[in-house]
Copies of this chain bind each other. A is one copy, B any other.
Amino acid sequence: MILYGLAVSSASYRVRIALALKGLTVTTVCKQLSANEHRLQDYLRINPQGFVPALVLDDGMVLTQSMAIMEYLNEAYPTPPLLPKDLVARARVRAMAQVIACDIHPLNNLRVLRYLEGELLHDKTARDAWYSHWVQAGFAALEGLLSRESGESLCCFGDAPTLADVCLVPQMFNARRFSVNLIAYPRLARIDAHCRELAAFVGAAPERQES
């Protein structure tokens, strides 16, 4: 398998963690954000949408959209599971993942920040306030969801990483990168710190990718 991604892209980072949790070794092609290389013609032949990540399977099939890729990995390589067995628990883990994947990340990715600056002529202050606003709203929701789960588990659900943690850690990374104040989310901070010490998360970290 070949993973096309960007080092700091939350969606790419998620898939790197999921692959590592599954013990899968893939060839990674890490593009440079600054060069905007992933928009280039050769990459558009792999993913016409131009977005990362894309996972090319050994038979040449191309999978796109990080959440779809991770559900695929979880179905194709069931061990260790990234979702609990109980159906309601699965729904709650997916909901936590989607607070990040649907309510935070789409508002703050590069193409949106560029539209705010390029089309709508906002300055860096307004852009950063926008970024912070949606992170804070989403993290407040997630902190609330976690407070409903029983006990003080090591991860978002139980003591082993699920799709929720796989989404959380890259979003926390990018929130720090944009200097978002994270003081109000002690549960998220604790889970993030725990997960970042696990081998799969260490190896997937942006600073460990080839530049």
CB A105 to nearest CB in B, in angstroms, measures: 8
Q: Are B68 and A76 in contact (CB under 8 A)?
A: no
Q: Which residue of B lies closest to A147 (CB)?
A: B48
Q: Which of B67, B92, B137 contacts A94 (CB 8 A)?
A: B67
A72 at the interface (CB under 8 A from B): yes
> Which residues in B have their C-beta under 8 angstroms from that of A71?
90-91, 94
In the complex, whether A64 has a CB less than 8 A from a CB of chain B is yes
The answer on a CB contact under 8 Å between B87 and A72 is yes
Contact B120 A126 (CB under 8 A): yes
**Does A75 lie within 8 Å of B63, measured CB to CB?**
no
How many chain copies does the complex carry? Answer: 2
Q: Are A68 and B48 in contact (CB under 8 A)?
A: no
Chain A to chain B contacts (Cβ below 8 Å), 9 pairs: A49-B141, A57-B88, A64-B145, A71-B94, A72-B94, A76-B87, A102-B106, A103-B106, A120-B126
A window 40-55: CB within 8 A of B: 48-49, 51
- Given A75-B90, A88-B72, A115-B133, check contact A65 B102 (CB 8 Å): yes
A130 to B: closest C-beta gap in Å: 8
Verify B144–A98 contact, CB threshold 8 A.
no
Given contacts A48-B141, A71-B91, A120-B130, 15 further A-B contacts (CB under 8 A): A49-B99, A49-B141, A49-B145, A65-B94, A65-B95, A67-B94, A68-B91, A69-B91, A71-B90, A72-B87, A72-B91, A102-B102, A102-B105, A111-B137, A120-B122
